[in-house]
Structure 1
Amino acid sequence: MLHSMSTSVEPVSDRSADEVNEEIRALWRRAGGTLSVEEREEYQRLVMEWAAAAPQPVHAA
């Protein structure tokens, strides 16, 4: 089975990582701990948005 990968670039979020994290938590609360296929897709999108919005650690040289 082949899976296609999207080559489109998602826009950078205008929301903070905290705002996205709260939406992730709300999704899990609404789902009661078990995500449907549609909810999993939303969760994956939110996690990617959160990762893009999260502060990146600075490594010392």
Structure 2
Amino acid sequence: MTTLHELRKLGVRIALDDFGTGHSSLGLLQTVPVDILKVDKSFVDNVTEAGRHSVIAEALIQQ
């Protein structure tokens, strides 16, 4: 975490790829200095349908 914050101070933009796979969580977005969030395809495939996919996408956008 310290290294990420130091890199960001130097002007490096931080991207988090494939968010939603492995051990990622919404809480992670509150602690990691992320400039770009690339959401895993499994979350956006059905984002226009009602249900959990749209709820997840909305929560990510509001973070």
Higher strand share: 2
* Larger Rg computed on CA atoms: 1
Bin the TM-score by the shorter chain. 0.3 to 0.5
**TM-score, scaled to structure 1:** 0.37
Higher RCO (CA-CA < 8 Å; seq separation 6+): 1
**TM-score, scaled to structure 2:** 0.36
Higher helix share: 1
